[in-house]
Amino acid sequence: MKLWELNGSKFEEISPKIAILPVGSIERHGNHLPLGTDTIVPLSLAEEVANRRKEVIVLPPIWYGSCRGLRKFRGTFDIDVEVLYLYVKNVLEEAVRNGFKIILVLNGHGGNTSIIRLAAREVALKNDVHIVVIDWWRDIAEETRKELFKEPGHAGEDETSIVLCIA
């Protein structure tokens, strides 16, 4: 289920405890992939998990991220590190306030990793909750990616294949 599609009474009725927060970025991925690739992928993965596990709620994704390295390319939106940290932290705090006890942050952009981990750690330490941060692309071992794809990495064969699969 997606949080943004529930009404208040349905949310109260199911009183969910497990949430997935997709986080990504809007940045240039060459001329062949959408600017939102880094959010589209974790959102799609989160929706697939929620379809298989009814007790899981997908929170609205955070579309913007820290993209310093690609600022020179039009279509990239680089959010200040402090702003992103405070925003992620606030969203996690609100998830806790709304009763979620287990939160999986599914990250789709490398520039966000340390920022998200810091915010998640702070919120988890202050509350009786479990917050896990996963960078989706790191779940496939580097050797496996090398075997499967000639050009893995940013806008490479692996990322392009995933986008084509979910499109």
pLDDT-based confidence at residue 140 (cuts at 50, 70, 90): low
Write down the CATH number for the domain with range 3-166: 3.40.50.10310
Taking the complete model, does pTM exceed 0.85, yes or no? yes
**Closest by alpha carbon to 82, among 49, 119, 121?**
119
Q: Where are the domains of the chain?
A: 3-166
Spell out a b/e string for 110-148, using b for 16 or more CB atoms within 10 Å of the CB, else e: bbbbebbbebbebbbeebebebebbbbbeeeeeeebeee
| Chain segment 10-57, per-residue pLDDT in tens | 999 999 999 999 999 999 988 889 999 999 999 999 999 999 999 999
